[in-house]
Amino acid sequence: MPDLLNRPHVVIIGGGFGGIAAAKALRRAHVTVTLIDRTNHFIFQPLLYQVATAALAPSDITAPIRWILRHHRNTEVLMAEVREIDPQRKVVRVDDELREIPYDYLIVATGSRHAYFGHNEWEPYAPGLKAIEDASEIRRRFLLAFENAEKTDDEKEREELLTFVIVGGGATGVELAGAMPYIAKKALAPDFRRVDTRKTRVILVEAGPRILPTFPEDLAARAVRDLNDLGVEVRVGSFVTGVGPDGVTVGSEKIRARTAFWAAGNLSSPLGKFLGAPLDRAGRVQVSPDLSVPGIPNIFIVGDLAALVQDGRPIPGVGPAAIQEGKSAAKNILRELRREPRKPFRYWNKGDLAVIGRSRAIADLGWIRFSGWFAWVFWLFVHIMYLVGFRNRIVVLFGWAYAYFTSQAGVRLITDVERYKPPG
For residue 168, the minimal CB distance to its own copies (Å) is 24
Instruction: For residues 204 and 168, give the distance between their C-alpha atoms in angstroms, rounded to a whole number.
Output: 7
Q: Which is nearer to its own copies, 356 or 411 (CB)?
A: 411
Q: Are 78 and 422 in contact (CB under 8 A)?
A: no
Instruction: For residues 212 and 181, give the distance between their C-alpha atoms in angstroms, rounded to a whole number.
Output: 19
Name the one range near its own copies by CB under 8 A: 77-85, 156-164, 201-209, 304-312.
77-85
**Interface positions, 121-180, toward its own copies (CB under 8 A):** 132-133, 136, 143, 147, 150-151
62, 110, 269, 288: residue in contact with its own copies (rule CB under 8 A): 62
Cα 215 from chain centre: 18
Q: Which is nearer to its own copies, 39 or 310 (CB)?
A: 39
Four-point Cα dihedral 10, 13, 15, 21, nearest 10: -40
For residue 75, the minimal CB distance to its own copies (Å) is 8
Half-sphere exposure of 157 (CA within 13 A, CB side): 12
Tell me if 7 contacts its own copies by CB under 8 A: no
28, 30, 59, 86: residue in contact with its own copies (rule CB under 8 A): 59
Instruction: For residues 226 and 338, give the distance between their C-alpha atoms in angstroms, rounded to a whole number.
Output: 53
H helices within 126-216, ranges in order?
132-151, 155-161, 171-182
State how far the alpha carbon of 17 is from the alpha carbons of 73, 188, 194, 285, 287, in Å: 20, 34, 45, 18, 18
Name the one range near its own copies by CB under 8 A: 19-27, 53-61, 120-128, 167-175.
53-61
Name the one range near its own copies by CB under 8 A: 66-74, 219-227, 345-353, 370-378.
66-74
Q: How many CB atoms lie within 10 A of CB 194?
A: 10
Binding mask 82-121 for its own copies (x = CB under 8 A): ----------------------------------------
Q: Which is nearer to its own copies, 26 or 212 (CB)?
A: 26
> Could you say which of 137, 175, 206, 325 is catalytic?
175
State how far the alpha carbon of 53 is from the alpha carbons of 3, 193, 223, 407, in Å: 48, 22, 19, 13
Is residue 84 part of the annotated active site? The answer reads no
User: What is the side-by-side strand order in the sheet with 163-167?
Assistant: 232-235, 201-205, 163-167, 259-262
Name the one range near its own copies by CB under 8 A: 12-20, 185-193, 304-312, 358-366.
185-193
**Interface positions, 262-301, toward its own copies (CB under 8 A):** none
Half-sphere exposure of 71 (CA within 13 A, CB side): 3
**Interface positions, 302-321, toward its own copies (CB under 8 A):** none
Closest CA to 125 of 116, 133, 117, 135: 116
Tell me if 365 contacts its own copies by CB under 8 A: no
Residues that bind its own copies (CB under 8 A): 1, 38-41, 57-60, 62, 64, 66-67, 70-71, 76-80, 132-133, 136, 143, 147, 150-151, 190-194, 390-391, 394-395, 398-399, 402, 406, 408, 410-417
Active site residues: 175
